Every structure is written in C-alpha cells, then in structure tokens.
Amino acid sequence: MKLARGLSCFLIIGLCADLVQKVTSGTVRRLKLKVGSRGPSKSPPLHARSHRQAEPTRTALAAPNPRLLLEDIDDSTGYVVVPLVSSPGEESSYSVLPGKKGRCIIGGITMYNAAVWSPEPCVTCLCSNGRVVCDEVTCPPRQCPQTFTPQGECCPVCLDADQSKPPDPQPKASPQTPAGMHQLLSGKEQESEEEDSAEKDGEKGQRKKTKEGRGPQTPHSEEGMPEHDRRQSYETEDCWITERRTIQQKLEGGLSQESEEEEEEEEEEEEEEDDCFPLPCPNVWGPPLPSACSISDDKISCINAKLTQIPNITDPELTSLELIGNSISYISEEAFHGIPNLERLDLRKNTITSSGISPKAFKPLKKLTHLYLDGNKLVHFPPGLPSRLQELKISDNALQSIDEDSLAELQRLVVLELEGNQLSESNVSPLAFAPLKSLSFLRLGKNQFRIIPQGLPASIEELYLENNQIEEIKETSFNHTRNLNVIVLHHNKIEENRIDPLAWIHHENLESIDLSYNKLYHVPSYLPKSLLHLVLVGNQIERIPGYVFGHMRPGLEYLYLSFNRLKDGSLHPVSFYGAYHSLREIFLDYNELKSIPCGISRMTSLRLLRLNNNKIRRLHQERICGAGDRDSPLEHLHLENNYISPRAISPYVFPCLQFHEGIILQPQKVK
C-alpha cells in the first residue's frame, strides 16, 4: 500500500503540473471541474434548464484523435477537465446532443460546457461545446504480484504482500478519476488545515487496520512506526497539500477581482441547482406546473392542463409558450414579466375576454413575433400588442370592430387571421389596414362582409374572404393590391354580372381565384390575364362562353367545374380556346353531360380529366384520341358512375393512352 500511495502521489503531481501550466497560460481564468449525476433522471426536475422528452440518440463516430486533450476544449469557458483516454486505433462512443451556448442536455438535465460526470461505473463523460463525449477509464499497468479493485473504483491497486485480504475502506473516489480530482483539488482544504494544527499541537492521529484471520483491531500510533515509513506517510499527504497551495497561489495571482466575482456568482448558481437536484426548484419556475405540461429546451406546452391563469414562470431563455385548451380568462400586467424573450405565445381555446387583458400585459414581450388568440371571447383588439409581431391570429372570437388605430403599431405584421368574427364593412375602418406595410396574408372568412373590404394594403398577396355575404366585386376593389396572387371567395353570393370588367383583368400576379358555391350561371368573363387556377365548383353554371380563356397568358392550367349544370350544348371547341396548350387538369364531374366534350383531344398538356357522375352513354374514341395516331398525354381518366354499356367497357378503348391503368370505368349506373 505504501508503494501504491507513492506511485499515486507522483502521478497526481504530474497531472497537477500540467493543470497549472494550462491555467497560467492566460486563457483559463478559473479552475473548476463539475461532476454531474450518476445518470439521467426518470422524472427530470422542473428547475432544469432543458427538458427533452426523447431519449438521447447514441451515434458511433470515429474519434478524430484517440485522446481528447486539454487543448481541444474551448478555453473561453474557463473550465479544465481531466482528459478522456481511449486506445489508439479504436473508435470512441459519442453521444451527440444539441446544446445551447455550449451546454449539453442529458435525459432532460443540463450540463454546462466542460462538465465531467460518470453516467455509469468506469465510464466518464465530457460536455464539449454542446457535444457529449463518453469513454471508458483506462487503467495504468500495475507492477505487483497481487492486485485488487477497491469498492467504488475502476482500476486495481497493488495488494501488500503481508496482507491476506484487501482492506475494506469506506468508498471513496480514486485520485485517477474526475471525482477523485474534484475531492483532492477542492475538498481537502479543511482536512489539511486540521492535520497541520494537529502537528503543531503535538497530537498524533491514530489509524486502524482490519485484517482477516487476525485478532481484534489494535491501534497503531505513528510513534511506533519506523522513521522511513513515517516520513513516507507524511510525504504522501504533504505532496497534496503543497500542490494544492501552489495551484491556489498561482490562480489567485492570475485572477482579477472581476473574474473572482464572476466565478463566485456562477458557483452560487450551480450550487443552487445542485442543491435542488433531484427535487424541483420552486424558485426558478414559480409554482409547480400541472403534470399535463411538457417542458423542453426553450418551450413549455400546457395543452388541456386545466389552467385558470397564466402560470408564473421565470425563465429568460424561454422562447415558446403554449397554453391551448385551458380556462384562462384574464391576462394580468405581470403575467409575462419573467419571460421577456418569448417569441411565440399560443393562447388558443381559452376564455379570455377583452376586459380581462391588462393594457400593459404584452409590454414586456419585446421579442414576440407570433401570437395566437383563436377561440376566445374577445370583442375588441387586444391593446398594446408588441410592434415586432409578424403573425397574429384572432379567429373564432367575437370581434365587433377594427378601428383606425387598432393595428397602428404592427408595421411588421406579415400574417393576420380574423376569421369567424362579427366584422363587416360597417365596423371596419377603411384606414384600419393602412399601417400594415408588410402584410402578405389576410384571412377575413366567416364574417359579415357584403363587399370587398376597403383600404387593403398594397403588399397583400393572399386574401381569404370565404363564407361572407359578398354580392359584388367593384372596379375599385383591388386597385391598390397589384401583388395579389390568391383570392378565395367561395360560399358568398356573387353573380357573374356583378363582377366589374375592370375589377382584376389587368392584374399581372393574380394566379388563383376560388369562386365556388356562389350564384354563377356561366364562367365569368374578364378574368385576370395571369390566371392559372380557377375553381368554380358548386355553382349553377350551364355553359362556358367562347373565347373566355383566350386573353390569358401564359394560359389557364387548372379548371374545376364539378357540381354544376353543364350539358352537351354548353361546351364548344371555342369554349377552351386559348387554353388548349396549357390546361393540365379539368374537373367536369357531377354535371349533366351525355358525351365526352369536344376539344379534349386538342389539349396537348392535359394529364387529368374527370367525367364521372354524369350521364354519358357512349364512348367516342375520337373525343380523346382525335383523328391522328398521336399519343395522348392523358394519364388519368375518370368515367365511372355513368350509363356506359358494359360491352363498351375495355381498358383499351382509347389506344392513344399510354397509361391504361389510369382509366377508371367501373362502376356504372343501371337504368
């Protein structure tokens, strides 16, 4: 044992010398080694900075260096760690996890950069710039006839020749392990001072040894020990005291007062976290959150958690808070004081009222960009909304007005959704949308508009006005919205003669219009020149006027006319004039057609044709294939639920089609 102590002393002295050299290089400001828990907790504490539900993914990667040296660690963090050793030529096992600011997340627990811990016996892990690197402890060779491994250690030690059984000491960390280094470098000061005091007073310590096969324990004083053994014992202990003091002196000489204060503050924070583990820290997150809440890296989600108020949360790094489906009815002025960096707030499906929102409730949220208040009981716009908002959703409430100043501060707003309210042209100011210089996406469906809202911003690209009571589209409706790309107007009361010829014909960016379920009797004329996608499902359309698509450039690509009243006389070759080269899909199902329409065979880009659920009785080959031998580009043809004779049904009835499996002929109706 004496020889082992001597060898250990020399090994530790060498290691300490390397540490001192590293510290005095000027890049490391403090010496600190953090030892974490023995493994991930099954129920992570609420105080932990990061809580991931998924288990860490272990990935085997080839180590760039067989040994992770101190130089490989980011010195800016101020940590020094014991190197992790692996045999040359072998691959180390890496557990790579995303980290924030160099931190690592292990089973929902945050480890700071350069922290070292042992998740299981004889395995040491290091947090290095957000990555977790784990390696097995490599034991030095022992030049002795007999060895044994003490309890709680990984490496064997030499067994004295005169001992028949190894001693059974109290479990303690080996100087070779990170835990042992932590004890020897930071936990022996008080013990060393007591020993020095005992020497000065002339008091001698007593040691006890228990050996199997010998009599009762007999105390041995140091006075009775040979001088050589006594001197070696003192040298073994004094070497630690000397190195400890040397390191402390050099550290104190190299640290400024400011650095010492920073170190003390960080130590207090970490001690506070360690004291809480594994129990929750109520002072960090406020009152405990319900069990239905989930906590991740920078997000808290409490969906259907039976909350009646905004939980008191203090976490400056939180960026997303979901409180969907609760019973929150008010938002106090202090509700968000503890989460100033919140970027996304979801309060859908609560019972929040306009009077329940404090005028300064959203003032602390300077970085909020996404706010969702759908499904509440708001009558007016919430006051004091953050100016950095990019997405605002207040659908399915009871909004009764939008004043001139309601949106005045939201110049960065890109998406605004106000569906399912009580808005109309009578209670929405013509100047309400004027401040929204960046607005691209506006939803006003399920309201009470009878005309297109006035004063739409010039930046708008998509406009949704479905399920209103709109009856006409005036010439001035879209005068200032030249960037419009999509207009959705289904389920209104629009007639084709109530659409002004100059309403949108000159728009160069308008590509999609949905006029389904209105009161149209024929396909509207004067459609936008740039139109590609036209949806007219569920009207009473009886015909397609000739040349109605002739002015479009580059040409209409998608035409949906399902659930109308089209008949054979409604369609003529000139009905599709201007779109023969561009049409890719045509839906003519659920009409009153008795034959395949003329002009289909001239469509050089058509891929999908739906003629199912009509009254077709005969299949005219030339209506699909034409008179020549040219192959048709058609890939999908639906003719089911007509009155086609079974004798005429064959997958090869149209030889020009290359994809016979795309022809649907069954089932058919019976008279």
Domain that holds residue 385: 317-396
CA distances from 597 to 562, 584, 611, 640 (A): 14, 16, 9, 16
In this prediction, residue 267 carries a pLDDT of: 58
Cα gap 143→147, rounded to integer Å: 9
In single-letter form, the type of residue at position 564 comes to N
- Tell me the per-residue pLDDT of 383-434, one tens digit each, with 9 for 90 and over: 999 999 999 999 999 999 999 999 999 999 999 999 999 999 999 999 999 9
Q: Are 331 and 243 in a shared domain?
A: no
Mark which of 396, 413, 447 sits at the end of a domain. Answer: 396
In single-letter form, the type of residue at position 659 comes to F
300 SS3 class: strand
Neighbours of 594 (CB within 10 A): 13
Read off φ and ψ for residue 384, nearest 5 degrees: 60, 40
**Secondary structure of 235-267 as H, E, C letters:** HHHHHHHHHHHHHHHHHHHHCCHHHHHHHHHHH
Contacts of 269 by beta carbon, 8 Å cutoff, 6+ apart? none
Q: Are 346 and 374 a contacting pair, CB within 8 Å?
A: no
Read off φ and ψ for residue 642, nearest 5 degrees: -115, -155
In this prediction, residue 203 carries a pLDDT of: 46
Cα gap 314→300, rounded to integer Å: 12
Q: Are 332 and 239 in a shared domain?
A: no
Cα gap 24→27, rounded to integer Å: 8
Q: Are 40 and 159 in a shared domain?
A: yes
Closest CA to 185 of 98, 82, 304, 94: 82
Mean pLDDT of the chain: 74
In this prediction, residue 661 carries a pLDDT of: 83
Q: Are 237 and 344 in a shared domain?
A: no
Domain count, the chain: 2
In this prediction, residue 438 carries a pLDDT of: 95
- Tell me the per-residue pLDDT of 65-78, one tens digit each, with 9 for 90 and over: 333 333 333 333 33
DSSP 397: S
**CA geometry: angle 29, 95, 285, nearest 5 deg:** 65
Sign of torsion, CA 156 160 162 167? negative
In single-letter form, the type of residue at position 639 comes to L
**CA geometry: angle 128, 133, 135, nearest 5 deg:** 140
In this prediction, residue 165 carries a pLDDT of: 47
Domain membership flag for residue 612: no
State the CATH number of the domain containing residue 337. Answer: 3.80.10.10
Using DSSP, how many helices (H) and how many strands (E) does the chain show? 7, 30
Domain membership flag for residue 477: no
The region that residue 613 occupies, defined by phi over 0 for left and psi between -120 and 50 for alpha, beta otherwise, is: left
Q: Are 7 and 151 in a shared domain?
A: yes
Read off φ and ψ for residue 19, nearest 5 degrees: -65, -45
Domain membership flag for residue 426: no
Domain membership flag for residue 95: yes
Q: Are 341 and 316 a contacting pair, CB within 8 Å?
A: yes
Q: Are 20 and 119 in a shared domain?
A: yes
Tell me which H or E stretch contains 83: none
Q: Are 346 and 234 in a shared domain?
A: no
Q: Which long-range contacts (CB under 8 A, 24 or more apart) does 664-671 make?
A: 664/612, 664/636, 664/637, 664/638, 664/639, 664/640, 665/639, 665/640, 666/640, 667/640, 667/641, 668/640, 668/641, 668/642, 668/643, 668/644, 669/641, 669/642, 669/643, 671/643
Cα gap 185→182, rounded to integer Å: 5
In this prediction, residue 189 carries a pLDDT of: 45
Mark which of 341, 363, 396 sits at the end of a domain. Answer: 396
In this prediction, residue 662 carries a pLDDT of: 87
Closest CA to 535 of 462, 591, 585, 481: 585
Domain membership flag for residue 466: no
In this prediction, residue 658 carries a pLDDT of: 83
Q: Are 237 and 106 in a shared domain?
A: yes
Cα gap 110→423, rounded to integer Å: 48
Mark which of 368, 396, 424 sits at the end of a domain. Answer: 396
Read off φ and ψ for residue 412, nearest 5 degrees: -95, 0
- Beta strands 131-136 and 93-95, pairing class: antiparallel
Tokens of 308: 């009646």
CA atoms within 13 A on the CB side of 302: 22
Judged on CB neighbours under 10 Å (0-12, 13-18, 19+), 185 is buried
Q: Are 591 and 561 a contacting pair, CB within 8 Å?
A: yes
CA distances from 443 to 6, 170, 235, 460 (A): 79, 71, 81, 11
Tokens of 287: 């009152």
Q: Are 349 and 234 in a shared domain?
A: no
Kindly write down the DSSP assignment for every residue of 564-606, as one continuous string.
S---GGG--GGGGTT-TTT--EEE--SS--SSPPTTGGG-SS-
Q: Are 58 and 170 in a shared domain?
A: yes
194 SS3 class: helix
Judged on CB neighbours under 10 Å (0-12, 13-18, 19+), 243 is buried
Tokens of 637: 């043809």
- Please name the residue ranges forming H helices in 430-538: none
Domain membership flag for residue 129: yes
Domain membership flag for residue 445: no
111 SS3 class: strand
Tokens of 199: 């020497």
Q: Low-confidence residues of the chain, pLDDT below 70? A: 1-103, 105-115, 117-118, 121, 129-130, 137, 151-153, 159-287, 651, 671
Cα gap 669→671, rounded to integer Å: 7
Domain membership flag for residue 427: no
